[in-house]
Amino acid sequence: MSTSAAAPGRASADGIAARARGLTKKYGSGGTAVLALDSVDVDIARGRFTAVMGPSGSGKSTLMHCLAGLDTVSAGRVWIGDTEITGLRDRELTRLRRDRIGFMFQSFNLVPTLNALENITLPMDIAGRRPDQEWLDEVIDTLGLRDRLKHRPSQLSGGQQQRVACARALASRPELIFADEPTGNLDSRAGLELLGFLRDAVDSLGQTVVMVTHDPGAAAHSDLVLYLADGRVVDEMEHPTAAAVLDRMRLFAGSGPRPSGPRAARGPLDEDGVAVEGA
Ligand SMILES: Nc1ncnc2c1ncn2[C@@H]1O[C@H](COP(=O)(O)OP(=O)(O)OP(=O)(O)O)[C@@H](O)[C@H]1O
């Protein structure tokens, strides 16, 4: 199924932060091949908070990695803004990721020997870019990190470390922020705080956020939820509430919010990625 955070025709071209057409990703080959994404069409609207949900193994992380240029595609095309990233050379892709995308992962990936401020500005230091001080101050104050800037990660709580990771993703004012289960390692209070900051980043700072999550409560902070199942976008929900998200997940998964089945839930596929009957 084709779906969109802002379907073509509903938003102008410059209202789209990322776009995929016929995005297909197959891992492996022969009898053990897994079709992780099956001809996905998706538009991510600029200035919105989009959540990606679905059962374990449905292709959420693969979709995020392909949209962010962290993984190659097997077929189809992907754009960040107006730039088609499928077909870019490694060096161009690295530069594009560095200059236009911010990442937040479940593990914060902070450098232990650097203090919070140094961690926040590290990507820009590596790129040889000077931070926009006014923007940086706004991010630091929005995230409540002003009095923690000289602390090393080991001197910060988990929630504070995740806020540093969030500030690092925001600091260069990227076109797009991808967050993979950003609240996964946080207690519920710190998780809520972080989601509030991501919401603020969209509402007050005009950022675009795409977040993969299993948690209906987290998804309820977004503007739009995309549901993946078996490598396809099967539904979407505007203005989600936790209860409505949970209901919809039950419909698709036939179970609770965190299905625990094997990651490779599908059967073997043939050379063309088609399920082998009776396998
Ligand atoms: N590097 C890889 N090699 C082989 N198969 C992979 C690889 N990465 C992912 N897969 C498979 O692709 C499918 C989609 O994986 P993906 O990690 O995108 O799912 P997900 O929805 O993010 O799952 P989870 O919620 O468990 O993190 C799964 O069947 C997975 O086993």
Q: Is the pTM of this model over 0.90?
A: no
Is residue 17 situated within a structural domain? no
Looking at residue 2, what is its pLDDT? Answer: 42
Is residue 16 situated within a structural domain? no
Say yes or no: CB of residue 261 within 6 Å of ligand 1.
no
Give residue 123's domain range.
46-69+87-253
Is residue 119 situated within a structural domain? yes
Using CA atoms, how far apart are residues 218 and 203, in angstroms rounded to an integer? 16
pLDDT tens, residue order, the chain (279 aa): 444 443 333 333 469 999 999 999 999 988 889 999 999 999 999 999 999 999 999 999 999 999 999 899 999 999 999 999 998 999 999 989 988 998 887 777 899 999 999 999 998 888 888 888 998 998 898 778 999 999 999 999 888 898 899 899 888 888 899 999 888 777 787 788 889 888 988 998 789 999 999 999 999 999 999 999 999 999 999 999 999 998 888 877 654 333 333 333 333 333 333 333 333
Is residue 170 situated within a structural domain? yes
The ligand 1 atom at the shortest distance from the C-alpha of residue 265 is 29
Looking at residue 221, what is its pLDDT? Answer: 96
Is residue 7 situated within a structural domain? no
| CA 265–ligand 1 middle distance (angstroms) | 9
- Output the residue whose Cα is nearest ligand 1's atom 17: 61
Using CA atoms, how far apart are residues 218 and 59, in angstroms rounded to an integer? 19
CATH number at residue 205: 3.40.50.300
Is residue 97 situated within a structural domain? yes
Number of independent structural domains in the chain: 1
| CA 275–ligand 1 middle distance (angstroms) | 17
Structure-derived torsion over alpha carbons of residues 267, 34, 4, 186, reported in degrees to the nearest 10: 100
ipTM for the complex? 0.98
Is residue 138 situated within a structural domain? yes
Structure-derived torsion over alpha carbons of residues 110, 111, 112, 114, reported in degrees to the nearest 10: -110
- Output the residue whose Cα is nearest ligand 1's atom 2: 27
Say yes or no: CB of residue 57 within 6 Å of ligand 1.
yes
Write the CB contacts of 79 (distance below 8 Å, at least 6 apart in sequence).
16, 18, 19, 20, 85
**Helix, strand, coil % over all residues of the chain, rounded to 5:** 35, 25, 40
The ligand 1 atom at the shortest distance from the C-alpha of residue 264 is 29
Q: Are 241 and 252 in contact (CB under 8 A)?
A: no
